[in-house]
Structures are given as C-alpha cells and as structure tokens.
Amino acid sequence: MGAIIPHEFITRNGNRVILRTGSPRDAGAIVKLSYDVIKENDTLITTVEEFTVTEEQQREFIFFYNEDPSNLIIVAEHNQNIIGLLTFQRGMFQKYAHHGTVGMIVNKNWRGNGIGKALLTTLIHWAEFHPLLEKLCLEVLASNNHAIALYKSVGFIEEGRQRNQVKTFDGSYDDIVLMGKLLDRSMYF
C-alpha cells in the first residue's frame, strides 16, 4: 500500500484532524464508520442490509491493499476516532495500471468542514508523485450534488453518465456520474 506523511489540518469549525495512512489496526473503526454512513445516507449504492463486512474481513482488505504500493487508504482522525475514509485502488490490468478508483466517506457530523476536500487533495498530491499514475476516477450518484461540487472543486470533470443505473426503494431511478481527473505532474518534474 502506498503511504502518506501524517499531517494535521484545521477544519472549518476549528477542530484539529489528522490525516494518515490507514492500517490493519483501523479495521474495526473503519467498519463502524462505513456502517454508520451507509445507515444514515441514501447517496451510497450499498444498503445497510447488504453491508456485512466484519472487522476481520476489513483487516484482510487492508492487507490486500498492502500488496500494491499503488493502492492507498487515508483516514481522517479526530481524538483517535476515524471520521473520514478515502480509498484508492489502482487498475489491476496492465492497460488500466495508469489510473485507479477513488471511494470516500465522511461521518455525517463532520461533513461541510473540509474533511472530504482535505482527503482528496492529499490523494491528489500523493498521486502526482506516483510514477505510474496519470488519472483518478470515481463514480457518484447524480443526485449527490454536494459530492459532485466537491469533486469539481478539486479538478474532477464529468466524463459520462450511466442512465437509470440505480433503482431506489420508492421505485425511482438515479444516474451514476462517471468523473475523472488527469494528474498534472509538470509542476513536480
């Protein structure tokens, strides 16, 4: 797994948050955060009934990430509680090895305080120094306007849309927006 230098930032409401590389010891806290976000949020694909990841499975997932230095897990931590998570997994096939997929969640009580942006800018900075990476990719529900605005604010653009890709409990549909960001390493090399 790739790694970042742990660093602190101050949220919009004045709290100190540490951003650091996730480790196997974070498995339980990551499972709890994931469950809590899925439970209260309808902007994710997974439902709470479908989320069955155990702490041991999460630990194994983190070990899997450790096998490739082009993968990265970043946690946002406040007073030793994980309040945000970003995962990046590089493409597994040779023709996809120049890009990877971003996933991110933030505890609802911490949204709007700059944590998502801090996680994304940390990933972008790390990726710009990575010798193999050229592009970051993600998927987001079209109805998730706050997330789309955040992604655009750090340079992601809409690259496509999967129409009626998600069917909600009430029978309505939502599109998946495909977004990407080409990395600019010219300022570093």
| Mean of the per-residue pLDDT values of the chain | 93
Q: Are 22 and 84 contacting, i.e. CB atoms less than 8 angstroms apart? A: no
Instruction: State the pLDDT confidence band at 187, using cuts at 50, 70 and 90.
Output: low
- For 5-44, write each residue's pLDDT tens digit: 999 999 999 999 999 999 999 999 999 999 999 998 777 8
- For 49-66, write each residue's pLDDT tens digit: 889 999 999 999 998 887
159/139 Cα distance (integer angstroms): 10
Give the pLDDT confidence score for residue 188 in this predicted structure: 56
| Residue 186, SS3 per DSSP | coil
132/186 Cα distance (integer angstroms): 14
Residue 77: other Cβ atoms inside 10 A: 19
Q: What is the pTM (predicted TM-score) of this model?
A: 0.94
